Amino acid sequence: MKIEEKNPGMLAKIYRDKDIQKVQDKMNMLGSFQKMDTYTFLNIRLISSIVVFLLLLYFFQYGYLLAPFLTILYYYLFTYIYIDVPLKKRIKQLDHDALYFFEILTLTLESGRDLEHSLEVTVENVDNELSREFKQALYEMKFGKSLIESLEDMKKRIPSETVNNIILNMTQTSVFGNSILETMYHQIDFLRDKQILEIRGAINKIPNKVSIISVVFVVPLILLMILGPFIINLLS
């Protein structure tokens, strides 16, 4: 996706177009998790980093040593909090939405509708993060795009590798004229298997979490019960 806005003011002298494009591409992938536009993010990150640098210089005796390191740390932490963390949450949400959405889509395809009409019916009956992306793709078709072109553009807004692989299979099926219904059966089986593996993985992690809780809370409590009377006798 091309940069939609012209690089304004001070940013034009600080950021290269490709750096802005990189941030904007990530912002486009945030969907409803996006809290600010690209240039607002860049401006706030830049100005707040300068403020942090000056405050460290002013309030700390050895600020000239701390300021460069802590400002760089703040700069990357700001990016992590406002882009990377929401991006991970959105990937998780899209992966969670995928099975239900594609199950409904497959049921609609089974009624004899083609892919485009099946998508239209599905997005009208399913309201989640993934459905809204398909709704946007269908909306773009009103301006002359084909279904395949809209889906290809949609992939650029989807950070989930799982969902993008399914969209890729859907477009390839449409191009080569294979059975879309057969393709969706395979994709749903894949999503179900993936979900089962994730549940098993979460269950397998429970003993480790219990062990950590035991070490952190139970063991000190047992030691306190054993050594408590001895310590009280020493103090009395």
Instruction: Work out the pLDDT band at 153, boundaries 50, 70, 90.
Output: very high
Sorted by where each begins, the domain ranges of the chain are: 11-91, 97-195
pLDDT of 11 over the 70 cut: no
Q: Taking residues 97-122, what's their average pLDDT?
A: 94
Give the integer Cα–Cα distance in Å for 151 and 19: 26
Q: CA-CA distances (angstroms) from residue 46 to 29, 42, 69, 138, 235?
A: 22, 6, 15, 37, 57
Which pTM does this prediction carry?
A: 0.77
Single out the residue of 68, 63, 65 nearest to residue 49, CA to CA: 68
pLDDT at site 120: 95
Q: Taking residues 154-175, what's their average pLDDT?
A: 92
CB-count exposure of residue 98 (10 Å: 0-12, 13-18, 19+): buried
Give the integer Cα–Cα distance in Å for 231 and 212: 27
* Contact partners, residue 43, CB within 8 Å, separation at least 6: 11
Question: pLDDT digits over 33-63, tens only?
Answer: 888 988 899 999 999 999 999 999 988 887 7
For the chain, give the mean pLDDT: 86
Q: CA-CA distances (angstroms) from residue 120 to 102, 163, 182, 184?
A: 13, 18, 20, 16
Instruction: Work out the pLDDT band at 221, boundaries 50, 70, 90.
Output: low
Q: Taking residues 229-233, what's their average pLDDT?
A: 68
Residue whose pair of structure tokens reads 């990377």 in the numeric block:
84
Give the integer Cα–Cα distance in Å for 51 and 71: 9
Q: Which fold has domain 97-195?
A: Receptor-associated Protein (1.20.81)
The better pLDDT of the pair 218, 166 is held by 166
* Contact partners, residue 119, CB within 8 Å, separation at least 6: 105, 134, 137, 138, 147
pLDDT of 205 over the 80 cut: no
Give the integer Cα–Cα distance in Å for 198 and 176: 33
